[in-house]
Amino acid sequence: MHAGDTLTSEQLQTRVFAALDSFRIEIPSWGFSNTGTRFGKFTQAAAATTIEEKFADAAEVNKLTGVVPTMALHVLWDLPNGVSDVPSIQALVKKYGIQSGSINPNLFQDQEYKYGSICNPSTEIRGNALAHLLDSVEIGRELGAKDVSLWIADGSNYPGTQSMSKRIGYMEEVLTSTHAALAPTQRMLVEYKPFEPAFYHTDIADWGMALELARRAGPQAKVLVDTGHHLQGTNIEQIVTWLLHVGGLGGFHFNDRKYADDDLTLGSIDPYQVFRIFHEILSSDAKGVDDIAFMIDQSHNLKGKLEAMIQTVVTAQELYAKAALVDHAKLAELQQSCRLVEAEETFRGAFWTDVRPIIREWREARGLPASPLAALAEGGYMEKITAERGAKNAASVSSYA
Ligand code: AOS
Ligand code: ZN
Ligand code: ZN
Ligand code: ZN
C-alpha cells in the first residue's frame, strides 16, 4: 500500500502539479566556476570564468527547469570591488533575467582571518570583518536581495589556544551591529557547521548556537541549515521541526554527504532524508513556513557543473513532490492511535511513489523540456561554452573567479 494506491491518478496529478508550481530553488554562482576540494581541483573547459558567464549558466539552468529565478552571489568572488560592483550586477540581472539571490560575505579567505574573523582576538580585525558584513548588507539592499547568508569559518585547532567564551561575546557584538544595518525587507541567515576548517572548536558549531546568536542579534536573523553540516547520524528533520516551532528557520543550503561536508549532489547518498525534511515543512502550520529559502550549496569537482546543477534541481523537485503526497490527516490518525506499521507505510509509501512521469507531464504543461538533462545534452549550449571558455580555463588553472 502506498500513496499511489490510495490516490486516484487525477488526485496524484493535482497534488504534484500544485507542489511543483510553488517550488523554487536558488543556485549558487560558485557552482559554475572551477572550484573543487582542498586537495586540488580538476578544471573543466566549460566552467564559468567571469560573473557574466555564471549568469549565463544560471539562465540556461532556469530555461531548462523553470524553477531557479535567483542565483546566490559571493561577495569576494562575484563583487570583488564590493558595493561599486552593484551596477554591473544589475546590468547582468537585466540581460539574463536571473535575479540576485542571497548575498554571501567572505570571512575566510583573507590572510588576516588566520585566527578568526568576527571572533578574532584583535579588535581591528573584528572591525574589518564587520565592515565587510555591512558592505554585504548594503549590496543586498541595493540589489533587492532578501537574504545575507553568513557562514563563519572561525574556530581553533587546539584546546586551550582560544577563549571560546570571549569569542561568543565578540560574535554577539558583530552580529547585533550587522542586524542593526538590515533594511526591513532584509534577513540575515546564520549557518552552522560542527568542524572544518577548524578541527577542535568551531564558533558556531550547531543549530542551538546559531539560533541563540540569531535571536540575540534581532528578529530578522534566522538559522540556515546546510544539510552537509551535521555529525554522522544527526536527525536533521528534527532540527528542522524545532526551528519551525520556534520561528527560527530561515533557509537551507542543500547538498549531500557521506562522511563530512563535501557538497555532493542533493539526494545522491540519502534521498529519504531530504524527503523527511520536506515532509516536516509541508506538514507544518508554523508561522513563517512559507518564508523558507531553498538554496543549493554545491561545487563540483568531478561532475559537469551544469549537469550536476540540473540533476540537483530535478532531484529536489522529485523529493518535494513525493513529500507532497503524504496524506497528513490519515497519518495523524494513525500516529494518534499508535498504528506504527500503517503509519510508517503511509509515510514511506509516498516516498516510494514514482512521481517522475507526472513531473514530465508538469514540465510539458508549463512549456518546459520533459527532461532538462536530455535537453542540456542536445541543446548545443555545452558545446558553445566549451569552445568559448576552454582556452581561458586552460590558461588559468589556479585562478578562482
Ligand atoms: C561552507 O562549508 C559553507 O557551506 C558555506 O555556506 C558555503 O559553502 C560558502 O559560504 C560559499 O561561500
Ligand atoms: Zn591523510
Ligand atoms: Zn553552506
Ligand atoms: Zn559547507
Q: What is the mean pLDDT of residues 17-44?
A: 91
Mean pLDDT for 220-239 is 98
> pLDDT tens digit string along 340-376?
999 999 999 999 999 999 999 999 999 999 999 999 9
- Probe ligand 1: pick from 297, 298, 301, max atoms within 8 Å of CB? 297
The distance of Cα 263 from the centroid of its chain, to the nearest Å, equals 10
How far apart CA 4 and CA 20 sit, in angstroms, is: 17
Mean pLDDT of all residues in 244-269: 97
Q: Is the CB of 151 under 6 A from ligand 1?
A: yes
CB 27 within 8 A of CB 313: yes
**Predicted confidence (pLDDT) at residue 68 exceeds the cutoff of 80:** yes
Terminal-to-terminal C-alpha distance of the chain: 51
Which three cell numbers, joined as nine digits, stand for 159?
584546546
The torsion angles phi and psi of 336, rounded to 5 degrees, stand at -60, -40
Percent of the chain's residues with pLDDT above 70: 97
Interatomic CA distance for residues 124 and 145, integer angstroms: 29
Spatial separation of the C-alpha atoms in residues 112 and 122, rounded to whole Å: 10
Kindly write down the DSSP assignment for every residue of 132-152, as one continuous string.
HHHHHHHHHHHHT--EEEE--
Q: Which residues lie closer than 8 Å to 87 by C-beta, 6 or more apart?
A: none
Q: What is the DSSP letter of 370?
A: S
Q: Tell me the pLDDT band of 14, cut-offs 50, 70 and 90.
A: very high
Question: pLDDT at position 395, please?
Answer: 78
pTM attached to this predicted model: 0.96
With 90 as the cut, is the pLDDT of residue 6 above it?
no
Q: Which of 253, 254, 255, 299 to mutate to test the pocket of ligand 1 (most atoms within 8 A of CB)?
A: 253
Position 1 pLDDT exceeds 70: no
Taken as a whole, the chain contains a residue count of: 401
For residue 230 and ligand 1, the question of a CB distance below 6 A is answered with no
Report, as an integer, the average pLDDT of 28-45: 87
Reported confidence tier of residue 396, pLDDT bands at 50, 70, 90: low
251: pLDDT strictly greater than 70: yes
Q: Which phi and psi (to 5°) does residue 294 adopt? A: -95, 115
| The ligand 1 atom nearest the CA atom of 297 | 8
How confident is the prediction for the chain on average, in pLDDT? 96
* 325 neighbors 15 (Cβ within 8 angstroms): yes
Task: Answer yes or no: is the C-beta of 147 below 6 A from any ligand 1 atom.
Answer: no
pLDDT category of residue 399 using cuts at 50, 70 and 90: very low
| Cβ contacts of 202 within 8 Å, gap of 6 or more | 153, 154, 155, 192, 193, 194, 195, 196
ipTM passes above 0.90: yes
Q: Separation of 232 CA from ligand 2 center, angstroms?
A: 20
Does residue 57's CB lie within 6 angstroms of at least one atom of ligand 1? no
Round to whole Å and give the CA distance between 212 and 259: 27
CA of 258 to the centre of ligand 2 (A): 17
Max CA pair span of the chain: 66
> Residue 166 has what pLDDT?
98
Strands 249-254 and 293-296: parallel
Rounded Cα distance between 46 and 300, Å, is 13
By DSSP bridging, strand 27-28 and strand 293-296 are unpaired
Q: What is the C-alpha separation between 85 and 384, in angstroms, rounded? A: 27
Query: How many helices and strands (H and E) does the chain possess?
Result: 16, 10
Is residue 222 helix, strand or coil? strand
- The tens digit of pLDDT for each residue in 266-313 reads 999 999 999 999 999 999 999 999 999 999 999 899 999 999 999 999
- Per-residue pLDDT band for 401 (boundaries 50, 70, 90) equals very low
Give 96-130 pLDDT, tens digit per residue. 999 999 999 999 999 999 999 999 999 999 999 99
> Quick one: pLDDT band at residue 230, thresholds 50, 70, 90?
very high
Asked whether residue 217 carries a pLDDT value surpassing 90, the answer given is yes
- Closest ligand to Cα 299: 1
Sign, CA dihedral 157-162-167-168, equals: positive
Determine phi and psi for 353, rounding to 5 degrees. -70, 130
d(CA 268, CA 209): 29
Residues paired with 264 in a beta bridge: 256
Question: What is the rounded CA–CA span in Å between residue 240 and residue 253?
Answer: 13
**What kind and span of H or E run contains 73?**
strand 70-74
Does residue 388 surpass a pLDDT of 60?
Answer: yes
CA 256 to chain centre: 11
Q: How many CA atoms lie within 13 A of 127 on its CB side?
A: 3
CA-to-CA dists, residue 33 to 54, 123, 171, 226, 304, angstroms: 7, 34, 31, 20, 11
- Domains along the chain with CATH numbers: 3-395 (3.20.20.150)
- Cβ(234)–Cβ(242) under 8 Å? no
pLDDT at residue 90, as a whole number: 98
Tens-digit pLDDT profile for residues 120-170: 999 999 999 999 999 999 999 999 999 999 999 999 999 999 999 999 999
Ligand showing the shortest atom-to-Cα distance for residue 107: 1
Confidence of residue 381 (pLDDT cuts 50, 70, 90): very high
> In the structure, what pLDDT confidence band is assigned to residue 63 with cuts at 50, 70 and 90?
very high
- Contact between 256 and 264 under an 8 Å Cβ cutoff? The reply is yes
